A and B are shown apart, each in its own frame.
Chain A
Amino acid sequence: MNLGAKTVLSRDSIHLVEREKTVHVISEEYYYKTESYYTILSHEMRNIPVAPGSSAVLDAYVVPLCLERARLNGIPVADCIISHSCAQYPAVLYGLNYFASSSEYKMVKDGASGKETIRHITNNGKYPFCYQPLSDGENVERHVSIFGKSYSGDEDVEDLARSLYNVFRIPLVTMVCIRGDENLLLSSLAPTRYSSMSNTEKSLLREYIAQQEFL
């Protein structure tokens, strides 16, 4: 049992928190075929309510699916084009294959740098990829969401965290967002290393694990 500030958030550690008859699986990542994925699956196979679900985590880490599922739930998302070549720069690029990770997005400014990046993320053209065009002045930001809460101090980010948690039920996730002049768009969801979290975020997560914070 993990208790409050003494909870060790070590690399790859998985924590289970039961609230209202649902087991919440807390992990740095929820990739397919990992210990956390199989922890979720084993609960599902025993008909034990578990969050997130195995279907949700697969959707969350595959960028076009993540965005489509978010869009269908009314969340503002970036335009995402599946392609073998990028037609528009600047853009954010994601691999779309067995080895791709949504945490490894690439920002490219022009065709020259884009060509090399595409060669890399498509394994020399073997796989397709997806890109999200950026308009002038748009930037990419990353924010951590803990059970749908964000400490960014930005209302849009906090709304996004809450909405995404309602859709995917992922306790710990990094929201990759595109910030424009007037809006904030979801670009992808990515794993969150405990070591990359601020002390405030770690404290909040420890409180959830110790069940001091009401979900």
Chain B
Amino acid sequence: MSRMGIFVDRKTLSSAEQLHAIIRCRDVAEGMGHSVEFIFPVDIRKIPQMDGLFIRARTDPMNVTYVASRMAGFNGIPVIDDPSSIRICSDKINMYCHLMKKGIAIPPTVFLSRKDISPSAVRELFEDMGSPLVLKEPSTSFSLRVEKVHDQYEFQRVARRFIKMSDWIVVQSYVESTYDWRIGVLDGEMIYACKYTIPSATFKIQASVNGHIVYCGVESVPQNEVPGDVIRLGIDAANAIGHGLYGVDIKNSNGDACVIEVNDNPSLEGGEDGLYPLVYQKIIAYLLEK
């Protein structure tokens, strides 16, 4: 019997869906003969006593989840998400660099530094990449700081806002689609697939529309209904980052599949794994039995 720590914070526990998901994870682990302990930020000193650590809180190199992951790493304890994956996936500049280096298909992408945001540079970007463009603040999550811009005025307004949070920002060509594929990959193997249906009022998986938060629809899709090139691209993209657990978002609207992003700490509370009952079993086996 091994001991698994599930790292959670207050925010994790404030969501009924997330709470339900981590309890399901605990039940699966116990069913496999392991014990489970929930680890809160104040319990980080307990991490060396664990045999594996599963982080279920928003990851970022500047918050306490990274401390937990790094502490596990310092002590040689298997951890999802591992520090390298957090560093890469939390920063879209870093993430796209890794994807580009491995030749993974992504939309045309440019990184812009603070000193490069001049009217002439912005004009050239529209000329080269078309309109609209998508601007991303590198550490955005849940599409919070992702904006579509149609002209130089909008570009400058959004870029000025994002550049306060990061010296570099991401500029991408816009790829239209009504849904994203989400391919869940663990250690180079697809473990689930689903579709995120983008709300008609926005182009993001989550957005504030007229003061109301709208969420994407989630539809678990059996493996035999997922295009083979989407699965291959998802696995290749995940392997470009590391060997942990990732949720790869792919657009395939015109048959030319491209990766929109690779997420560490992918959501599992929205029904993503509805048709894949072994997801938690595989995660726990990876952490405790590999």
Q: Residues of A with Cβ closer than 8 Å to B?
A: 32-35, 37-38, 41-42, 45, 54-55, 58-59, 62, 64-65, 68-69, 72, 82-84, 96-98, 100, 127-128
Contact = CB atoms under 8 A, between A and B. Distances in A.
B121 interface: no
A98 B83 contact: no
B66 interface: yes
A59 B87 CA distance: 11
Contacts of B61: 32, 58, 62
A65 B63 CA distance: 11
A80 B63 CA distance: 16
Instruction: Tell me if B's interface is mostly helix, strand, loop or mixed.
Output: helix
Given A64-B44, A82-B64, A35 B101 contact: no
A38 B94 CA distance: 9
A33 B64 contact: no
Given A33-B91, A33-B139, A84 B42 contact: yes
B74 A82 contact: no
B74 A69 contact: yes
Contact of B62 (A38, A55, A72, A97): A97
A33 B138 contact: yes
B259 interface: no
Interface string B81-109: 00110010001011001100100000000
24 contacts: A33-B138, A33-B166, A34-B167, A37-B167, A38-B93, A38-B167, A41-B97, A42-B97, A45-B97, A45-B98, A55-B84, A55-B87, A58-B66, A58-B87, A65-B70, A68-B70, A68-B74, A82-B44, A82-B67, A84-B41, A96-B41, A96-B63, A97-B62, A98-B63
Nearest to B9: A128
A41 B184 CA distance: 27
B143 interface: no
Given A33-B167, A38-B167, A68-B71, A62 B41 contact: no
B94 A62 contact: no
Contacts of B87: 54-55, 58
Contact of B114 (A35, A55, A83, A97): A35
A62 to B, nearest CB: 6
A38 B113 CA distance: 9
Contacts of A96: 41, 63-64, 67
A54 B70 CA distance: 14
Contacts of A64: 44, 67, 71
B64 A127 contact: yes
B163 to A, nearest CB: 10
B93 A128 contact: no
B113 to A, nearest CB: 7
A103 to B, nearest CB: 14
Interface string B114-150: 1000000000000000000000001100000000000
A68 B44 CA distance: 12
Nearest to B61: A58
Nearest to B62: A98
Contacts of A45: 97-98, 101
Nearest to A69: B74
B113 A128 contact: no
Given A33-B165, A96-B64, A59 B70 contact: yes
A82 B65 CA distance: 12
A41 B93 contact: yes
Contacts of A32: 61-62, 91
Contacts of A54: 87, 94
Contacts of B93: 33, 38, 41
B168 interface: yes
B236 interface: no
Contacts of B60: 98
Query: Which interface residue of A32, A58, A72, A96 has the most chain B CB atoms within 10 A?
Result: A32
Nearest to B100: A45
Contacts of B114: 35
A136 to B, nearest CB: 25
Contacts of B45: 82
B219 to A, nearest CB: 33
